[in-house]
Amino acid sequence: MARYIIKRLILLFPVVFGVATLVFFLIHMIPGDPVEVMLGETAMPSAKEDLRKALGLDKGLAEQYITFLKNTASGDLGRSLHTSRPVLSAVIERYPATLELTITALIISILISIPAGIISAVKKNSIIDRLAMLSALFGVSIPNFWLGPLLIILFSVQLGLLPVAGRESIYHLMLPALTLGMGMAAILSRMTRASMLEVLNKEYITAARAKGLSNFAVIVKHGLRNALIPVVTVIGLQFGALLSGAVITETIFSWPGIGRLMIQAINTRDYPLVQGCILIIALSYVLINLLTDILYAYIDPRIRYE
């Protein structure tokens, strides 16, 4: 296990290098000049040139790229072009908000999807199963940018129960977490149902029933645990997707996380800040996948990593 973890950690470096390279060149392909965004199109050419030199944007693209890689390797993600704050500090300041939102959304999706998937599998082809899968189909089909405003209209405008924007209390967390978690709940419920249906037909389930075990013990202890491997895989992948999906949700609800920070940086052509946000999200994604692989061995002791 230790050797496997070390190998995966070593593989982080080429992944991060590839992401950093891709992000650098894609960001520089975005139309618009950050100097003009900061000073305005009517600024004097001399002022623009001075600012361009101060920001290091007067250098060639290759030279900027080499400087970027050197700084990134040393843990220096640069400074924001607009606030002059270190990018790493700005991202770390916003990261807890994004993590809070994604973890809450994950908990909501698991609380909804796992019971729904189990009940659908046990009550296969019943009206409950059909309603649950129909709801899951709607959940997969509805995008966050449509569901978020719909929840705002219902719970904030019409009913006046929950606040729309900000991060002042747990009530401010409910709508964005529900918006982010519903799509994942739909995917997980379908995966749980499919995995449980496969497991419930196994011989050891028949043997457990023959021993006189209760239906709950058979389903949860013998069925669910063996069905969790593919579900955990999807949870790990979807949790990484939640980090990137939080960009839209955070923008809709003005949630002060990395996603909203990245959108603001894109609008102002703040290259270092955009690069820093994407790098942190990519690194989080890779680490979550590593934790998911490690979790396999604890769920199913038959799994061993060489």
CA dist 214 and 20 (Å) reads 54
CA dist 115 and 146 (Å) reads 26
Higher pLDDT, 240 or 278: 278
CA dist 206 and 222 (Å) reads 10
Phi-psi sector, 169: left (phi>0), alpha (psi -120 to 50), beta: beta
Whether the CB-CB separation of 219 and 118 falls below 8 Å is answered with yes
Give the model's pLDDT for residue 117: 86
Question: What confidence tier does 63 reach under pLDDT thresholds 50, 70, 90?
Answer: confident
Give me the mean pLDDT over the 251-265 stretch. 87
Supply the mean pLDDT for the chain.
Answer: 80
Higher pLDDT, 275 or 176: 176
Higher pLDDT, 211 or 273: 273
Question: Above 60 in pLDDT, residue 306?
Answer: no
Question: Above 80 in pLDDT, residue 187?
Answer: yes
Whether the CB-CB separation of 255 and 176 falls below 8 Å is answered with yes
Question: Above 70 in pLDDT, residue 40?
Answer: no
Convert the pLDDT of each residue in 220-249 to its tens digit. 777 777 777 778 777 877 777 777 667 888
Total H helices, total E strands in the chain: 13, 0
User: All domains of the chain, ordered by start, with CATH?
Assistant: 32-76 (no CATH), 88-299 (1.10.3720.10)
Give me the mean pLDDT over the 46-73 stretch. 76
Convert the pLDDT of each residue in 143-160 to its tens digit. 878 888 888 888 888 888
Determine the residue type at 19: V
Give the model's pLDDT for residue 216: 74
Question: Above 60 in pLDDT, residue 123?
Answer: yes
